[in-house]
Amino acid sequence: MGDWVKPVNTFVLLGRPGSGKSRTGNTVTGCDKAFEFGFHAKRTPKKCESKQTEICEAEVCVIDTPGVSFFEKQDYEDILSNMPEEGPSKIIFLLCISIGRLTEEELSLINQYFAIFGDDFAENTIIIFTHLDEWESDMNDCNVENPKFDSYLHTLPEQTKTMFRRFHNRYIPLNNKQKKGEKMQWTLKLMAIANSMQGYTMLKIFPTVSYSSYLRDMARSYSAYVAEMACRCLRNIQEAFWQ
């Protein structure tokens, strides 16, 4: 097992508020109290937290970042300050997205990560779809037995599917409330996927970001989104008219 799960030095959790980052960090570390979560959490909301853990005899650092709607320079520098003192040999981003709550603001934040970390962000990121248990419960309430997660992905807008393809469809659904043994199996799967990735190397200086190009890309993305919504509304009107 130790030879199969190679050491990944650092996981960095990213995502909006309520995306399940802290719970996911607890699952990875194997400790339910590694990171406080929920609205009652007493930690300072604007600072990162890091925890060291051991997975299959490999030392791993897990960095939990505060939930933000806009990723800025100080957020980047805060991550840098929480890196292991000996320096990370390999960094993998865990982008947490709550199933069923993928909004335009979420897509905007993902574009901001690209603006800050560059095109390498997609190559070194695993998407974690959190709240799997809630989604399965909702599907059961809709009389859907044994729902398959891939069926949820098929319902997403084409623009969103295009975004996920940038990550090579590298994703794992997660139920952070499952039993300890199941969490460990999930973590081993995560480690195996991370082992196949090259890993990101943080620069010690803040990267140069072309904000004008970022705004241009955002405008194009939003225009495509509006056009798709308009076509969908038109189809609904036409279907209602002919019924």
What are the pLDDT tens digits along the chain (243 aa)?
Answer: 444 445 568 999 999 988 899 999 999 998 888 788 765 545 445 688 989 888 877 888 999 998 888 888 788 888 888 888 776 678 999 999 998 777 788 888 998 898 888 888 999 999 999 999 888 888 888 888 888 888 888 888 888 888 888 999 899 999 988 998 999 999 999 998 998 888 887 654 445 454 445 555 555 555 555 566 666 666 666 666 566
* Residue 129 · residue 173 · CB < 8 Å: yes
- Residue 223 CA: distances (Å) to CA of 41, 219, 231, 234: 38, 6, 12, 17
| pTM, entire model | 0.78
Count H helices, E strands: the chain? 9, 6
* Residue 82 · residue 28 · CB < 8 Å: no
* Residue 35 · residue 22 · CB < 8 Å: yes
* Rounded (5°) CA angle 42-187-129: 70
Instruction: Give first-to-last CA distance, the chain, whole Å.
Output: 59
User: Helices marked H in the chain — which ranges?
Assistant: 21-29, 73-81, 104-117, 120-123, 132-141, 149-154, 158-165, 180-195, 211-242
